[in-house]
Amino acid sequence: MKTFDSEILIDTGLSIEFVDITNGVRDACRESGIQNGMVTVVSSHTTGCVKITERCERLQKDMTAFLQKIVPESCYLHDEFTVDGRSNARMHIMALLMNCGETVPVFSGQPGLGVWQSIFFVELDGPRKGRKISIKVIGQ
């Protein structure tokens, strides 16, 4: 069994932002030399998630509006004593609704995604610099 590690660094510009990282994951699969196996993509952040969904700007706007609606601005206990001055309890609560990572099969050296599927880093607490996404490819 062979393994390969890679990472993607992202600077985000919006408070909530869907950043398509599919090509970076494809590049890692190709660079790994692994033809058949699995690729796992994980966010190293508690207010940034990895999600497989359809790439469509209007859909991402709908998803952003949905997250903002179901997690209202409020007085959250976490915001009373922040580590870095960011009142971001709301963003941590949004992150509960998503995965920190995704795993997909690798076929012929490429992630086995469906026609409409893309892999996104979902920023929930932006803008931020240097958001880290770890990629591990395992297989033969």
In order along its 140 residues, the chain shows pLDDT tens digits of 999 999 999 999 999 999 999 999 999 999 999 999 999 999 999 999 999 999 999 999 999 999 999 999 888 998 888 878 888 999 999 999 999 999 999 999 999 999 999 999 999 999 999 999 999 999 99
Identify the three-state secondary structure at position 28: helix
Domains along the chain with CATH numbers:
2-139 (2.60.120.460)
pLDDT of residue 83: 79
